[in-house]
């Protein structure tokens, strides 16, 4: 085969490869767009309970941008943009996108906010938060999950996320106080250390309840006087909040 023919074949192969990559990217973009529409419908359906009939622009754009298929096991990539939780190993799950969006929305993220997340898991919720706020501190007690999430978030360019391996019940005192706290595992009561680490005017979104029963997604707001008020939103189902032994 002469040099000219090899060059031509290489160019054609390159174009075909680029086309396949573009098609794959477009397929994920289309899937994310469908997911956003489903999540928007979920907001409308639960507005009476949550007080949120729609997503804010930053939360909507975060769902459009964050590549959920990167945060699930390879065997579940085809299900990444279905609006449901998925297993990620070690008895943990990646939350349903609607719940991720709702919890982010209820936290009322501002561009200059510093947010604590308890329960890094796959890193997906941290990535969504990172699209909307200045800094995310996230804690994961299952070391292999936390290390995997740290590596993936760095690979995806989320420089405004710090990951710690440890007991999220205790919060992250050195980085406190926080404008918002998002808890992605369910304790049977609201951890006082997290309330203490919330700024006056700050908001915490947390599922509370027994593992075997119905949990309530709570919105806790801290007043200027330091007093916390609680509002129930919707019933949810999360994995339990694990403590250090």
User: How far apart (Å, rounded) are the C-alpha atoms in residues 33 and 186?
Assistant: 30
Query: What's the pLDDT score for residue 23?
Result: 41
152 falls within a domain? yes
pLDDT at 152: 98
pLDDT more than 70, % of the chain? 89
Please report whether residue 19 resides in a domain.
Answer: yes
Instruction: Give the domain extent around 137.
Output: 3-236
Say whether 95 is catalytic.
Answer: yes
101, part of any domain: yes
Q: What is the mean pLDDT of residues 167-177?
A: 97
Q: Rounded to an integer, what distance in angstroms lies between the CA atom of residue 2 and that of residue 120?
A: 55
More confident residue, 213 or 127: 127
Tell me whether residue 241 is in a domain. no
- Name 184's Cβ contacts closer than 8 Å, sequence gap at least 6: 95, 103, 117, 118, 119, 121, 125, 207, 238
Q: How confident is the model at residue 17 (pLDDT cuts 50, 70, 90)?
A: very low
Among candidate residues 56, 75, 79, 95, the one labeled active-site is 95
- Residue 242 resides in a domain: no
Please report the pLDDT score of residue 132 as a whole number: 98
pTM above 0.75, yes or no: yes
- Is the distance from CB of 120 to CB of 146 less than 8 angstroms? yes
Degrees to nearest 5, angle at CA 165 with 115 and 190 = 55
**Does some domain include residue 244?**
no
CA pair distance 143, 58, nearest whole angstrom: 30
Cα–Cα distance for residue pair 13/4, rounded to 1 Å? 14
pLDDT mean over 2-21: 44
**pLDDT tens profile 173-214:** 999 999 999 999 999 999 999 999 999 999 999 999 987 678
Closest CA to 96 of 80, 82, 84: 84
* CATH code of the domain containing 57: 3.40.50.150
- Number of domains present in the structure of the chain: 1
* Residue 87, beta-bridge partner list: 93
Token pair in block for residue 33: 């767009």
- Secondary structure in 3-state letters for 139-196: EECCHHHHHHHHHHHHHCCCCCEEEEECCHHHCCHHHCCEEEEEECCECCCCCHHHHH
What's residue 19's pLDDT?
38
pLDDT bracket for residue 244 (50, 70, 90): confident
List pLDDT tens digits, range 112-122. 999 999 999 99
Q: Identify whether 128 is part of a domain.
A: yes
Band of the pLDDT at 1, cuts 50, 70, 90?
A: low
Residue 32 reports pLDDT greater than 90: yes
Tell me, yes or no, whether 37 lies in a domain. Answer: yes
């Amino acid at each position: 085969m002469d040099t000219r023919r090899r060059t031509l074949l290489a160019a054609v192969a390159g174009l075909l490869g680029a086309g396949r990559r573009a098609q794959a990217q477009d397929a994920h973009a289309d899937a994310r767009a469908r997911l956003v529409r489903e999540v928007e419908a979920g907001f409308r359906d639960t507005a009476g309970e949550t007080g949120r009939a729609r997503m804010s622009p930053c939360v909507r754009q975060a769902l459009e941008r964050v590549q959920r298929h990167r945060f699930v096991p390879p065997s579940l990539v085809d299900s990444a943009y279905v609006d449901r939780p998925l297993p990620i190993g070690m008895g943990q799950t990646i939350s349903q996108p609607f719940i991720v969006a709702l919890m982010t929305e209820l936290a009322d993220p501002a561009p200059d906010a510093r947010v604590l997340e308890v329960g890094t898991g796959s890193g997906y919720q941290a990535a969504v938060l990172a699209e909307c706020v200045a800094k995310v501190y996230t804690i994961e007690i299952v070391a292999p999950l936390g290390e995997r999430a740290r590596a993936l978030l760095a690979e995806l360019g989320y420089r405004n996320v710090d990951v710690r391996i440890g007991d999220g019940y205790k919060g992250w005192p050195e980085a406190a106080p926080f404008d918002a706290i998002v808890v992605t595992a369910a304790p049977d009561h609201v951890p006082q250390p997290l309330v203490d680490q919330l700024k006056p005017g700050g908001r915490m979104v947390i599922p509370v309840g027994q593992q075997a029963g119905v949990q309530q997604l709570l919105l806790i707001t801290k007043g200027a006087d330091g007093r916390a008020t609680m509002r129930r939103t919707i019933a949810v189902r999360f994995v339990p909040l694990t403590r250090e032994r």
